[in-house]
Amino acid sequence: MSVDLAKDIALLKRKKNAIILAHYYQVSEIQEVADYVGDSLGLSQKAAETNKDIIVFAGVHFMAETAKILNPNKNVLLPDLLAGCSLADSCPPSAFQKLVETHPNHVVITYINCSAEIKAMSDLVCTSSNAEQIVNSIPEGVPIIFAPDKNLGKYIQKKTGREMLLWDGSCIVHEAFSFDKLLKLYQKHPGSKIIAHPESESHILETANYVGSTAGMIDYVKKNPSEKFIVATEAGILHKMKEQVPHTLLIPAPAEEDNTCACSECAFMKMNTLQKLYDCLLNETPQIEVRETIRKKAILPIERMLELSK
């Protein structure tokens, strides 16, 4: 890592009374300078409780947008404004509005990987670590729309036994894992534990020994006595995982198209660099903006989620 740049970021952060929040999928150099590294739930909890003036959100747009919804008077910065999310993009507001309007008796639960406009049409937001709990909070018999991730939706249907109306969205990174290559990898490493993020497809999740959020996966490898794990999520997670279990073999699950590095990276998450993080803190741009009419509606399902996740 560039030591000077990291030092300059630390100085600037203090001078400007800023906090750096980073997702586990960020490049290692960014995770190293962050005040907090976590999963989507942990990051929104941190964003909700911070008293700093500036939040630098090293993650993707919907995450920084959630922080801004919770902190309308703070300056929320995203190192690269183009850091989006295929899953959030798979749910355009106009199409989603039609679905909601044609199913007025449904409770609308949306995965946090969606835009502020979609959150504004929702009753509850959830993340991969609390989706089951959020769905279970809805009384039996009340119909549910779940969007935008169909893979997480199908998984939660199985876990809760609740039929839900699922939006047909997905994450390009987690859908790219190859089941056949995963089985071959397992044959090479018999006895290893397969751990997977619930954005992965059903056949991967059915084979996995553990399914959970990025924070949940790290916790699992810490507590499980196994010496080898096949890890089916974005490769950035390996940085913190290795720190937690330095003597354990962590094998990234292979993607279908991947014949070289055998790992899966989210191109959106990787748009943020240490240099861009420094520049955005220095210049206080790019800033996240959310229209007040949308923000006022979008904060309600996020606050309900935070309340249920205490």
Is residue 200 involved in binding ligand 13P (CB under 6 A)? no
Contacting ligand 13P within 68-107 (CB under 6 A) = 85
Distance between CA 291 and CA 295 in Å, rounded?
Answer: 6
Which phi and psi (to 5°) does residue 147 adopt? -145, 165
Distance between CA 279 and CA 276 in Å, rounded?
Answer: 5
From 215, 232, 266, 306, residue interacting with ligand SF4 (rule: CB under 6 A)? 266
Rounded to 5 degrees, what angle do the CA atoms 63, 274, 14 make?
A: 80
From 113, 127, 151, 192, residue interacting with ligand SF4 (rule: CB under 6 A)? 113
From 76, 171, 215, 241, residue interacting with ligand SF4 (rule: CB under 6 A)? 171
Distance between CA 92 and CA 85 in Å, rounded?
Answer: 12
Alpha-helical (H) ranges within 91-233 are 93-102, 116-120, 131-136, 150-160, 179-188, 202-207, 214-223
Examine residue 148 and say whether the peptide bond preceding it is cis (omega within 30 degrees of 0): yes
In the 8-state DSSP scheme, what is residue 139?
A: P
Examine residue 190 and say whether the peptide bond preceding it is cis (omega within 30 degrees of 0): no
* Buried residues in 81-106 as b, exposed as e (16+ CB within 10 A): bebbbbbbbbbeeeebeebbeeeeeb
Is residue 113 involved in binding ligand 13P (CB under 6 A)? yes
Name the binder of 29 from ligand 13P, ligand SF4, none, CB < 5-8 A by kind: none
Binding residues for ligand 13P, total number by CB under 6 A: 11
Contacting ligand SF4 within 199-228 (CB under 6 A) = 199
* Among candidate residues 100, 90, 28, 35, the one with its CA nearest the CA of residue 62: 90
Shortest distance (Å) from residue 87 CB to ligand SF4: 4
Is residue 128 involved in binding ligand 13P (CB under 6 A)? yes
Is residue 31 involved in binding ligand 13P (CB under 6 A)? no
Is residue 50 involved in binding ligand 13P (CB under 6 A)? no
Contact between 93 and 147 (Cβ < 8 Å): no
Shortest distance (Å) from residue 176 CB to ligand 13P: 13
Distance between CA 238 and CA 17 in Å, rounded?
Answer: 30
Contact between 288 and 76 (Cβ < 8 Å): yes
Is residue 87 involved in binding ligand SF4 (CB under 6 A)? yes
Contact between 174 and 168 (Cβ < 8 Å): no
Closer Cβ to ligand 13P, 131 or 278, answer by number: 131
Stretch that binds ligand SF4, among 13-21, 159-167, 169-177, 216-224 (CB under 6 A): 169-177
Is residue 39 involved in binding ligand 13P (CB under 6 A)? yes
Q: DSSP letter string over 268-293?
A: TGGG--HHHHHHHHHHT-SBP---HH
From 29, 80, 117, 199, residue interacting with ligand 13P (rule: CB under 6 A)? 199
Is residue 264 involved in binding ligand 13P (CB under 6 A)? no
Name the binder of 86 from ligand SF4, ligand 13P, none, CB < 5-8 A by kind: ligand SF4
Closer Cβ to ligand SF4, 171 or 280, answer by number: 171
Can you tell me whether residue 69 is helix, strand or coil? helix
Closer Cβ to ligand SF4, 25 or 229, answer by number: 25
Name the binder of 172 from ligand 13P, ligand SF4, none, CB < 5-8 A by kind: ligand SF4
Q: Which residues bind ligand 13P (CB under 6 A)?
A: 39-40, 85, 113, 127-129, 171, 199, 213-214
Q: Which residues bind ligand SF4 (CB under 6 A)?
A: 60, 85-87, 113, 171-173, 199, 234, 266, 268-269
